[in-house]
C-alpha cells in the first residue's frame, strides 16, 4: 500500500502519519507493508494513474474536488485560524470584523484564501503564497499582518516555525464544518474500505486518542 504525506514521514510520529498507519492496519496491512512516496500536491488530483493509494495532507473536503478524486469521510474537523507576530496590533483582535482592516495572507491550495475573501472581506487585497515558508517570510518582513491557516498548522507554526508567532484566534465555522479527507483515485476500490476503517476508528475512540495525542487544541481563543 502506498501513502503520500506532505512531509514523507514513515515514523508514525505526527497526526496524519498515525492516522495513516491505523487505517492501513484496519485494512489488513502490516506497518512494514506501508510504503511512503513524496508527491507534489498538484499530482494528487491530476488525472491518470496515481503513485499512491491514499494521500493525507490536510485536504479539505469539497464537492467540486470530489468530482476529480475520491475523498473519504472526514478524519479531522478543522477551523481556520489566524496567526501573527506577537506585539502587533492584529494580535489583540477579538472579532472577525476586526480583521478586515489588516493585510492578510494564505497559502495557496487551501480553503483559507476563500475564507478570507468570502467571510473576512478585507479592505486590502490578500496575498497568496505557495507554501508556509514564503507566507511566514512575508509575516517577518511585515508585508502581511496575519496568515490564515488551519488549526493544526497554526499550532505547528507557532511552536516550531515562527520565533515570535502567536495565534490570534480560531475563526468561526461558516456553513458546514470543514473536514480533512483522505484522497484516493476516482472510483478507487479502497474508498469504501477506508471509510469503513474511519467509521470503526471513530466508533471505538481510536481516532480521538490519536487526535488528542498529536493535536493540542487548548489555548486558542475563538474569534466572534
Q: Residue 126 is placed in which grid cell?
A: 490578500
Q: Using CA atoms, how far apart are residues 145 and 140, in angstroms rounded to an integer? A: 9
- CA-wise closest residue to 86 among 21, 32, 140, 29: 140
- Of residues 58 through 117, those in contact with another protein by CB under 8 A are 62, 64-65, 67-69, 105, 108-111, 113-114
Show the site string, 167-206: x = touches another protein by CB under 8 A, - = not.
-------------------x--------------------
Q: Using CA atoms, how far apart are residues 117 and 106, in angstroms rounded to an integer? A: 11
Counting Cβ atoms within 10 Å, is residue 127 exposed (0-12), middle (13-18) or buried (19+)?
A: middle
Mind giving me the DSSP string for 23-47? HHHHTT--GGG-EE----HHHHSSS
Please report where in the chains the cell 480521538 appears, as a residue. Answer: 208
CB of 178 to another protein, least distance (A): 13
Q: Using CA atoms, how far apart are residues 10 and 113, in angstroms rounded to an integer? A: 30
Is 48 a binding residue for another protein by CB under 8 A? The answer is: yes
CB of 154 to another protein, least distance (A): 19
Which of 17, 44 has the CB closer to another protein?
44
Following CA atoms 146, 151, 155, 158 in sequence, which dihedral angle do they give, to the nearest 10 degrees?
0
Bridge partners of 54, per DSSP, are 3
Sole window of 13-21, 39-47, 50-58, 83-91 interacting with another protein (rule: CB under 8 A): 39-47
**Residue of 29, 36, 41, 214 that binds another protein (CB under 8 A):** 41
CB of 11 to another protein, least distance (A): 28
- Of residues 124 through 153, those in contact with another protein by CB under 8 A are 125-130, 134-135, 137-138, 140-144
Chain residues that interact with another protein, rule: CB under 8 A: 41, 45-48, 62, 64-65, 67-69, 105, 108-111, 113-114, 125-130, 134-135, 137-138, 140-144, 186
Amino acid at each position: 500500500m502506498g501513502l503520500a504525506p506532505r512531509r514523507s514521514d514513515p515514523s508514525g510520529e505526527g497526526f496524519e502519519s498515525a492516522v495513516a498507519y491505523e487505517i492501513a492496519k484496519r485494512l489488513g496491512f502490516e506497518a512494514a507493508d506501508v510504503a511512503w512516496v513524496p508527491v507534489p500536491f498538484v499530482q494528487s488530483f491530476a488525472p491518470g494513474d496515481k503513485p499512491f493509494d491514499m494521500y493525507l495532507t490536510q485536504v479539505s473536503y469539497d464537492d467540486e474536488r470530489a468530482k476529480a478524486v475520491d475523498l473519504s469521510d472526514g478524519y479531522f474537523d478543522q477551523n481556520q485560524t489566524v496567526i501573527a507576530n506577537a506585539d502587533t496590533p492584529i494580535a489583540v483582535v477579538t472579532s472577525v470584523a476586526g480583521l478586515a482592516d489588516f493585510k492578510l495572507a494564505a497559502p495557496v491550495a487551501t480553503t483559507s484564501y476563500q475564507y478570507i475573501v468570502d467571510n473576512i472581506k478585507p479592505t486590502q487585497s490578500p496575498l497568496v503564497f505557495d507554501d508556509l515558508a514564503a507566507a511566514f517570510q512575508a509575516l517577518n518582513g511585515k508585508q502581511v499582518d496575519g496568515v490564515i491557516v488551519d488549526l493544526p498548522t497554526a499550532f505547528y507554526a507557532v511552536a516550531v516555525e515562527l520565533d515570535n508567532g502567536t495565534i490570534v484566534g480560531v475563526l468561526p465555522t461558516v456553513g458546514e464544518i470543514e473536514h480533512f479527507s483522505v484522497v484516493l483515485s476516482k472510483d478507487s476500490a479502497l474508498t469504501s474500505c477506508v471509510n469503513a476503517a474511519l467509521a470503526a476508528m471513530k466508533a471505538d475512540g481510536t481516532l480521538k486518542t490519536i487526535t488528542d495525542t498529536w493535536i493540542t487544541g487548548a489555548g486558542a481563543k475563538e474569534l466572534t
